[in-house]
Amino acid sequence: MKKKVMVVFGTRPEAIKMCPLVLALAEHKDELDVVVCVTGQHRQMLDQVLGTFGVVPQYDLNVMRADQTLTTITSDVLSGMRDVLQKERPDVVLVHGDTTTSFAAGLAAFYERIPVGHVEAGLRTNNLLSPWPEEFNRQAVDVFSQWYFAPTETARENLLREGKDDARIWVTGNTGIDALSYTVREDYDHPELAWAEGHRLILITAHRRENLGDPMRHMFRAIRRVLDEHGDVRAIYPIHMNPRVRSVAAEELSGEERLHIIDPLEVVDFHNFMARSHMILTDSGGIQEEAPSLGKPVLVMRDTTERPEGVAAGTLRLVGTDETPIYEAFSELLDDDAVYREMSHAANPYGDGHASERIAKILCGSN
Ligand code: UD1
Ligand code: UDP
């Protein structure tokens, strides 16, 4: 009998990592029925990705509000998913990573006694406040999951340390890496890249909840100081749609002539911008996984990371959220060729680009 697999996601990064999986699952028509449900925790940034991959969800809870809180997202997703799950009764619900969508959708499945599969299971900082609330979300999802698709051996070890059954853990690589081989192109062009031509291109993103307000202000001040001191540098910042990010950026970064703040890029564009960049400053999770594959140094503007593999590979450096350490690390990477060379070796600690295929085969093969 065919297995009904419901794939649930709601934000941009989940979509980027789950759409390749939806396409891989759909290859197994004889074994699997695939139902896609999006929560719409993100709206525009989610729809961008769905359009890129050509994935059309059967269900859309459309929960996003301009002023959403963790409570509103959780309660809207929990009750919305209950209705969808009672109607569809899938054999397994797949959720991804650490967002509030993943936690609440997984919890709804658990309440309906439907097995949960966790894609990107086992990442840990072991600090519930960093990143917040993501560390809680990912730990909680691993409490009620029955299928653990761990991207790396480190993630598997984290799960084993918590007493999870080794027989339920599969090390698959990260599905986020699957897309890179399709998106990055030699002949890619974009007007913003033309603007940066002949300069070292710095790519910037920032959005973490615990960094909203003062930490983000400190990051932006450090970045501005470095840009002011380096005439051969141009920076592009595709800014998150969160108005709380946009207001601090407007206050701290407007009028900086070496910086363009632009709307979120479609994932194909963003990957090609990464491939053309000299280095990246970010507090993002997914970018920490993609950058090593492209050999691009990343200054991670956070105090912790659940992606130690990229630090071990030498591509990622944690610089915190205070102005001075960010200023110093950013300046050093621009001014010291030896430091730059050490950080810009390509490595693939997060997978070989075939994670989705592996997960699809595992779901077909076992119960
Ligand atoms: C969410 C996830 C975070 C993930 C991030 C990826 C949680 C708690 N947080 O955080 O783990 O790293 O997505 O980007 O699950 N907005 C729009 N349009 C969009 C998307 C967002 O207008 O397409 C605005 C809305 O005003 C929304 C706000 O951004 O209320 C915040 O969105 P939310 O999903 O709550 O938080 P993120 O910081 O995006
Ligand atoms: N990304 C994108 N457009 C952008 C910025 C980022 O497509 O303008 C992609 C990026 O390549 C990565 C993902 O979005 O795959 C990261 O998402 P985000 O930083 O929002 O969330 P996180 O990974 O921190 O949860």
Q: What ranges do the domains of the chain cover?
A: 3-174+351-364, 191-344
User: Quick one: pLDDT at residue 366?
Assistant: 54
- The closest residue, in CA terms, to atom 10 on ligand 2 is 287
**pLDDT given at position 179:** 87
Torsion angle of the four alpha carbons 150, 152, 156, 159, in this order, in degrees rounded to the nearest 10: -70
Could you tell me the two tokens for 169?
């853990």
| CB 176 within 8 Å of CB 17 | yes
Q: Read off the pLDDT of residues 7-33 as tens digits, 9 standing for 90 and up.
A: 999 999 999 999 999 999 999 999 999
Task: List, for residues 60-117, the tens digit of each pLDDT value.
Answer: 999 999 989 999 999 999 999 999 999 999 999 999 999 999 999 999 999 999 999 9
3-174+351-364 classified as CATH 3.40.50.2000? yes
Mean pLDDT of 327-347: 96
Average pLDDT over residues 253-279: 98
pLDDT band at 1 (very low <50, low <70, confident <90, very high): confident
Extract the tokens encoding 147.
Answer: 């299928």
Task: Give yes or no for residue 145 having a pLDDT over 90.
Answer: yes
Q: Is 354 a catalytic residue?
A: no
Does residue 367 carry a pLDDT above 80?
no
Q: Distance of alpha carbon 190 from its chain centroid, rounded?
A: 23
Report the length, in residues, of the chain. Answer: 367
Known catalytic residue: 14? no
d(CA 199, CA 193): 10
- The side-by-side arrangement of strands in the sheet containing 233-238 is 259-262, 233-238, 200-204, 279-282, 298-300, 316-318
Ligand nearest to the CA of 293: 2
- Which of ligand 1's atoms lies nearest the C-alpha of 67? 30
By percentage, how much of the chain surpasses pLDDT 90? 96
267 lines ligand 2 (CB under 6 A): yes
Tokens of 296: 């691009």
pTM value > 0.85:
yes
Instruction: Based on the residue annotation, tell me whether 209 is a catalytic residue of this protein.
Output: yes
Question: Which residue's C-alpha comes closest to atom 29 of ligand 1?
Answer: 242
For 175-212, the pLDDT digits (tens) are: 999 988 889 999 999 999 999 999 999 999 999 999 99
DSSP line for 300-358:
E-SS--S-HHHHHTTSEEE--S-HHHHHHHHHHHHH-HHHHHHH-----TT--S-HHHH
The reply to whether 240 belongs to the active site is yes
What single letter denotes the amino acid at residue 359?
A: I
Residues 6+ away with beta carbon under 8 Å from 14: 96, 97, 99, 101, 102
Per DSSP, the three-state class of 101 is helix
Catalytic residue of the set 207, 221, 244, 354: 207
* pLDDT attached to residue 211: 96
Closest Cα to atom 9, ligand 1: which residue? 99
Residue 276 in this model has a pLDDT that exceeds 60: yes
Phi and psi at 203, nearest 5°, equal: -105, 135
Q: Which residues, 6+ apart, have CB-to-CB distance to 74 below 8 Å?
A: 100, 103, 104
Q: How many CB atoms lie within 10 A of CB 127?
A: 12
Nearest to 360 by CA among 95, 5, 14, 122: 5
**pLDDT for residue 182:** 81
270-294: average pLDDT: 97
> Does any ligand 2 atom lie closer than 6 A to the CB of residue 296?
no
**38, 64, 216: which to mutate for ligand 1, most atoms within 8 A of CB?**
64
% of the chain with per-residue pLDDT over 70? 99
The ligand that comes nearest to the alpha carbon of residue 98 is: 1
DSSP H helices, the chain, are 12-26, 44-53, 70-88, 100-111, 134-144, 153-161, 175-178, 180-183, 191-196, 214-229, 243-253, 267-276, 286-294, 308-312, 323-335, 337-343, 355-365
Confidence of residue 346 (pLDDT cuts 50, 70, 90): confident
To test ligand 1's pocket by mutation, which of 102, 210, 241 has the most ligand atoms within 8 angstroms of CB? Answer: 241
Looking at the domain that runs over 191-344, which CATH code has it been given?
3.40.50.2000
Phi, psi at 9, each rounded to 5°: -155, 170
